[in-house]
Each structure stands twice: as structure tokens, then as C-alpha cells.
Chain A
Amino acid sequence: MSKALPANLEQIEVNLKKLTNQRTRSSLLGIAILILIFFGGTLVSLEANAGSFGRGIANFFNYPRDLFVDTFEMGWKYWPRVIKYIPELIITLNIALFSTFIGFILAIIFAIFSSRNLIRNKRVIQFTKFLMDVTRSFPTLIIAMVFLYLMGKSSLPAVIAITIHTAGALGKLFTEAIENCDGKPIEGLSSVGATWTQKIRFSVLPQVLPLFLSYGILRLEINVRESTILGFVGAGGIGEMLAALIQWNYGADVLACMFLLVGTIIALDYLSAYWRHKLIGVNQ
């Protein structure tokens, strides 16, 4: 045993050196690729950008400063302005909440039909997965623009677009949750002769519902941002108001809308962290 040690050590040395060399080489390669992407991207940006980079940096604070100056000039009259935009904010929140609910329900249906432990038919699983991939990958903006074109200006296109996207995005997460859930309760229910729906109701749903709700709340937060953006292209709510105010150059009002938005998003952020913590105990 003690005789074999030196030879072994040598072998270890050699192996270590080989491994280190290999790691260094792949790290260097990775860094080189990153640098290449960085410079390539910068070249493209410099070529495509309308203004120059240096001037942009110099101008960066101009717009925020203008907004704040406008606001300070108004003094106390400012606060009624902020309150004036709350109804618009409620429209945006309404769009987000409603489409999250509908998308959540659709996502559960998607997830049930694409989970390997619930469905035996491979075709059905593949089809549902494909459907989720497509609905998830389309930017909401593109769906909303097409529906805005077809249906005219209203909040409906935003609702449709966010619902579709939510169904796909949540569906994928839900599928993972269902596939990772404990199989034993399902077996237990099978052993007493439960039907398929009973199995889902009494063994799968109790396991995954807290996780589902947690994902749903997270999605609600994202959807509030999305519905603001869709408002920006004409779906109503505070986004549309903001777009108009920017065009008219009403600095103080722009800042009022921005404050409302940022306040809402931060509040939702904390609220959702709190809820999710309560639901699943960990802060994902």
C-alpha cells in the first residue's frame, strides 16, 4: 500500500495538470467568445444608433432633470394631478388581473394535458407542449398589435394578448410542478379505485396548488408591467396616457404617471414576495 502511493501521486499530478489545462483552455475560449460578442454587438449598435454614444451619455440626465424641474415649479398643485391618473392605473391593473385569472385557468388545463404522469397519450402531450411553446414565445406586443388592428382601439386586445401569453408561460411552469410532484398519493388513490378526475382533485392539486398560486402571483406582477406597455401602443390605461403626455411634453404629468407606476410595481413586488413566502415558505 505504502509502496504504491508515490506512483499514484504521480498519476494524480498528471491528471490534475491535464484537467487544469483543459479547464483553462475552455475558460479562455468562453471569454474570447464573450469578448467577440461584445465587440461585434458594439459595432452593430454604433452603426445602427441614430445618436452617438458619447452625446447620449452626456444627455442622459437632461430628460429626468426637465421632468423634476417641471414638477417643482407646480408646487402643491402637483398632488391633485397624481390623483387624477389613478383611474387610468386601475384600468391597467384590471386588465392585468383579469387576464392573469383567465390565463391561470387555461394554464392549468394546458398543464394537465402535457404532464407525463397524468396523460399516457404521447401525441396529446406533444401537441399541448407545442401549443404552449408557441403561445409563450410570441411577444404579447405582437399579438396585441394584430388584434388592435383587427378590433380597433380598446382594452380587449391587451386582455387577449396577455391571456394567451400567460397561459403558455404558466403552463410550462405548472407542467414542471405536476411532473415533479410526489407519485405516491396518486398510487394510493389508484389503489382504492379513484377515477382520473378524482386522482387529480385529491392527490395532484393539493400538492401543487400552493406552487401554482405562487407562480400566478409572480405572473400577476409581470402582467401589470405588460399591460402598461400594451397601453403604450394603444390598449388604454395608464400606458396610453403616459404615451400621450410624453408626446405633449407635459413634464410634471409624465412624472406623476411614472411615480404611480413605479409605486404600484414596487408595492406589488413586496406584496407578491410576502404572499409567496406565506404560501410555499421559501422565497424563490
Chain B
Amino acid sequence: MSSNLAIERDNIRKLFPDTFKQARKSRLKGQIIFFLIILYLIIGFFTLDVVDIPKKWKPQNAAMFILDTYAHKDHVTMKWENHDDIKIAFEGNYRSVYGRDNLDKSIPDWFYKNSDNVGNVVEFNNKGKAILYKDKVEIVNFPKYERDFTIKLNSNGKPYLVGSEDLVIEDLKGFRITENRVEFRPTLYERIQVYPKKVEIHRYSIGWKYFWFDFSSPLEPYTFFEALGLTFSNERVVPEMSNLKLFFTEIKDNDAFMHGRVWWAMLETIVMAVLGTMFATVMALPLSFLAAYNVTPIKTLRFMLRRLFDTLRGIDFLIWSLIFLRAFGPGPFTGIFAIGFTDTGTLGKLYSEAIENTEKKQQEGVQSTGANKFLQHRFGIIPQILPIFVSQSLYYLESNTRGAVIIGAMGAGGIGLQFLGALATGNDFENVAYMAILVLAVVIFMDRLSAWLRRILIGSDQLIVR
């Protein structure tokens, strides 16, 4: 059987030698291209420092970043010289201190007096405790640790771990001891630091606290739905305004998540994308007719318009936004015009190609009734290209939303700039995550909206290209 096949193959080879030679040639070409690509990838690998990823990738930083995007922490601070005044602050912010008279914010229930009535206890979520005394810190009850620990100050005023000589390495896991600091961090969620001057404890909990109402809000004691229920009640929470108004102003003016500002910025970004796309569509529509050979007989005009489209498109929206940023200053106009100018080029090119690809017969049919040129285009061409126009404009709407975020980050404002700001502060990662999710949601929404509109207007959500 196999020998038969082999003979057959040889026969075929003899019959059509040219075909086989060509096949071998093209295969060789493919192999060379493959080899070149591999070569380039190796070069790129080294020139772009991909090898450095493990070196640059600091898992500790990344873990802290991720931790802060979904968790919040409370700081407990005790100064040795003034050990009665223990400060508990949300995220260490001096404006969000528990137990201050003016704020009427009671001490959280994980902070209480020890049973000996001397020490103060900070209880973590894993039931481990840190007990603060005027001269020492006791760490007790931590799961996975067999024994308790005590940290004291020595005669030089430096912190040290009592009895650390007797400890086995197993027990010392989680401790980091330097000359001026003893740190205990068994997991990411508990952190106890003892310095010569003070003790600082970070207690992490999961979730976005104060997402709806911020720390000092009168509605903070209530959950979102309780507060929503309060808007139907007659008793005012604060005498100055109605509950409904309070509800919305408190959410809008939230200090931590800044809903009002973020949503306004989001609106700016959406406006940039939508108006930019509208602007481009309106500009490209007449120009594309002038650039199509079956509508415009003047060759020079067509050529010039084609080059105009190329230039508008070639000057990337990055450069357009730089120019408009100088003219209009930060704000949506910059984004609208940058997107509009770039997309006038893109859409103009696509539209004019669509016009050139239209069926000639319909136009001839209209012509046969004695209609003039304008009517021929109106009834011969426009009905054919309208679905393509709509489809392409809507298709660009989604990518322009992403573009508007980027233009915003380069200085035009909107959610892009807010995002950069939150990232630059270096500790508001929950805001970074919030805005990233918001952007993601809006982009996906625009994508779905444009697909839905294309479906109901044209009957197909695929991009029509002819």
C-alpha cells in the first residue's frame, strides 16, 4: 500500500516538476520569514529589557497595590511619651479620627480596655490582639503562633523583641527587626510597628468603606438602603435640608470616592467621544461625496481631498490634541476637535470608498426618469450607503471613548486626568480601581450601545464594509 503511494507520488512529481519546484520555493520562503521573525523576537526580547521583568517586578509593591484596591485600613497610633492619648484614624488621615468630640464618631468596637484595666487592646479580624501598655506592646493570640511576644524599649530608647535569643526561626517569621524599628506583619492584613517614638498599628479590613457616605457625613451611620429608606421619612437627619437632598449631596460630595467629580469627569469624556464622532461624521459626509470619482468629475479636487484625509488621519490625535490643548485649554473642546479632526480623515476615506463601491444601476434607474444630478445622488446613492455610514460612525464611537480617556490623561481633563491624579497620590488605590472599573463599564456599555443601535438601524451588528 505504502509503496504504491510512493510510486504514485514519484509519478506525479515527474509529471508536474514545475509545480513541485514552486511549492518547495514558497515553503523555503515561509521558513526564511519564520526564521526572521524568531530572530526579531529574540532581538526585541533583549532590546526591550523583557529579561528584566523579574528584576523590576516587585511582588511586595504589587501585593500592596492590589491589597489597597479592595481593602481599607485603620491606623492606631500611640506616642510613648503621651501613652494615654491613642489616636485611631481611618487610613491614617488626620481628618478622619475616631472619638473626637466634634465628629461624634464613636471608638470602633475592636478597640477596648484590657481585662487588667491597664492596657488597651487592638483586636484584629483574625482574633489576634495587640495590647498597648505605657512601656511595652504585647502581641497575643495570633493564630499559627504558639507563643506570645513582647516588644519593649531598651535603655537607649530603641525597640527590641523581649527574649528574641530563645526564639526559633519558626516564631520569628513575620518579624522584621532593624535598629530603629520592630515590625510584625504575619499576613498582609495585620501590621504592628514599634519605633523609638511611637507605636503604629495598621488594621486592614476587606471592602470599600465609606463608598456611599464619607467619614464625616451625617448619613454615615446608615447603610445605603437605610439611607434611601430615610428619604421617605419625615424626620430630618439634619435640620438644614430635606433627607432626599441630603442623600444626594452627601453621595455627590463624598470625600473619599468623590462621586460627583468622577461622574462629571466621566460625562466630559463621554461628551468628547460622542460630539467628536458627530463632528467627524458631519464633516466627512459632504467631503466624501466630493472625493468619490462617481460623483465628482474634477480629478484635482478628488486628489486634494484624498491627501487631506490622509493628512488629517496621519497627524495622530495625539498631535491634534496637543495643538488644540494650546488653543482651547484643558476641557472637552480639545477632545472633541482632536477626535473630530482625526476621524474626519478616517471616516472621509471610508465613506468615499463606500460611495465608489455603490451599485451603478440604481443611479442609472433614477437617471432614466430624467432626474438631475442632485436627485440621482439623493435617490441613487444615499439609500445604498446610509447603512454603511451609520455602521461605521457607530463603530468608531466605541474606540473614540477609549481615545477620549487617553486625550483626557494628556491634559484635556475628564476621567483620564482624574485617574492620573489618583494614581499619582500613591495611596488612593481604591479610587484607582473604582475609576478603572468605571471606565471599563462605560467602554463596554458604549460597545454594546453601538452594537444595539447598529442592529436596530441596519439589522446587523457587524461592521459593514464594501
Contact string against B for A residues 38-59, beta-carbon threshold 8 Å, 1 for contact and 0 otherwise: 1011101100111101001101
Question: How long is the Cα–Cα vector from A60 to B332 in the complex, in angstroms?
Answer: 15
Q: Which of B52, B331, B353, B402 is A156 in contact with, Cβ under 8 Å?
A: B52
In B423-466, which residues have CB < 8 Å from any A CB?
Answer: 423, 426, 432, 436, 439-440, 443-444, 447, 462, 465
Residue pair A97, B44 in contact (C-beta under 8 Å):
yes
Q: Smallest CB–CB gap between B410 and chain A, Å?
A: 6
In A138-157, which residues have CB < 8 Å from any B CB?
Answer: 138-142, 145-146, 149-152, 154-156
Residue pair B444, A137 in contact (C-beta under 8 Å):
yes
Does A101 touch B at the CB level, under 8 Å? yes
Residue pair A138, B322 in contact (C-beta under 8 Å):
no
Q: A37-B278, A94-B48, A150-B62 are in contact. Are A60 and B327 (CB under 8 A)?
A: yes
CB-based nearest A residue for B323: A63
Q: Which of B44, B275, B319, B402 is A258 in contact with, Cβ under 8 Å?
A: B319
Contact string against B for A residues 62-106, beta-carbon threshold 8 Å, 1 for contact and 0 otherwise: 111000000000000000000000000000001101100110000
Contacting chain A: which of B123-131, B150-158, B412-420? B412-420
Q: Smallest CB–CB gap between A89 and chain B, Å?
A: 13
CB-based nearest A residue for B310: A266
CB-based nearest A residue for B56: A151
For residue A137, which residues in chain B have a CB less than 8 angstroms away from its CB? Answer: 402, 440, 443-444, 447
Does A229 touch B at the CB level, under 8 Å? yes
The winner among A60, A142, A150, A262 for most chain B CB atoms within 10 A is A142
In B322-350, which residues have CB < 8 Å from any A CB?
Answer: 322-324, 326-334, 336
Contact string against A for B residues 32-72, beta-carbon threshold 8 Å, 1 for contact and 0 otherwise: 00000100110011011110110011100110010000000
Residue pair B41, A37 in contact (C-beta under 8 Å):
no
What is the interface residue range for chain B against chain A? Answer: 35 or more
The winner among B268, B327, B409 for most chain A CB atoms within 10 A is B327
Does B405 touch A at the CB level, under 8 Å? yes
Q: A56-B328, A159-B48 are in contact. Are A139 and B402 (CB under 8 A)?
A: yes
Residue pair B436, A38 in contact (C-beta under 8 Å):
no
Residue pair B58, A150 in contact (C-beta under 8 Å):
yes
What is the interface residue range for chain A against chain B? Answer: 35 or more
Question: How long is the Cα–Cα vector from A228 to B317 in the complex, in angstroms?
Answer: 11
Does A284 touch B at the CB level, under 8 Å? yes
CB-based nearest A residue for B436: A142
Question: How long is the Cα–Cα vector from A17 to B426 in the complex, in angstroms?
Answer: 65
Residue pair B439, A50 in contact (C-beta under 8 Å):
no
For residue A45, which residues in chain B have a CB less than 8 angstroms away from its CB? Answer: 268, 271, 275, 331-333, 336
Does B145 touch A at the CB level, under 8 Å? no
Question: How long is the Cα–Cα vector from A213 to B269 in the complex, in angstroms?
Answer: 33
Q: Which of A42, A133, A141 is B409 in contact with, Cβ under 8 Å?
A: A141
Q: Smallest CB–CB gap between A78 and chain B, Å?
A: 18
Question: How long is the Cα–Cα vector from A232 to B57 in the complex, in angstroms?
Answer: 22
For residue B440, which residues in chain A have a CB less than 8 angstroms away from its CB? Answer: 134, 137-138
For residue B319, which residues in chain A have a CB less than 8 angstroms away from its CB? Answer: 258, 261-262
Does A265 touch B at the CB level, under 8 Å? yes
Question: How long is the Cα–Cα vector from A133 to B398 in the complex, in angstroms?
Answer: 13
Question: How long is the Cα–Cα vector from A145 to B426 in the complex, in angstroms?
Answer: 12
The winner among A40, A53, A146, A258 for most chain B CB atoms within 10 A is A146
Question: How long is the Cα–Cα vector from A14 to B426 in the complex, in angstroms?
Answer: 69
Q: A44-B268, A48-B413 are in contact. Are A141 and B405 (CB under 8 A)?
A: yes
Q: List 13 A-B contacts (CB under 8 A).
A: A44-B271, A44-B332, A48-B332, A51-B328, A56-B328, A98-B44, A101-B44, A137-B402, A141-B409, A142-B436, A150-B58, A155-B49, A232-B410
The residues of A with any CB-CB pair to B shorter than 8 Å are 34, 37-38, 40-42, 44-45, 48-51, 53, 56-57, 59-60, 62-64, 94-95, 97-98, 101-102, 133-134, 137-142, 145-146, 149-152, 154-156, 159, 176, 225, 228-229, 232-233, 239, 246, 258, 261-262, 265-266, 269, 283-284
Give 10 nearest A-B pairs by CB, closest first: A49-B331, A51-B329, A56-B328, A98-B44, A50-B329, A45-B332, A63-B326, A266-B314, A41-B271, A137-B443
Instruction: Given A37-B275, A48-B413, output 5 extra A-B contacts at Cβ < 8 Å.
Output: A57-B327, A94-B44, A145-B423, A156-B49, A229-B406
The residues of B with any CB-CB pair to A shorter than 8 Å are 37, 40-41, 44-45, 47-50, 52-53, 56-58, 61-62, 65, 264, 267-268, 271, 274-275, 278, 310-311, 313-316, 318-319, 322-324, 326-334, 336, 353, 402, 405-406, 409-410, 413, 416, 419-420, 423, 426, 432, 436, 439-440, 443-444, 447, 462, 465
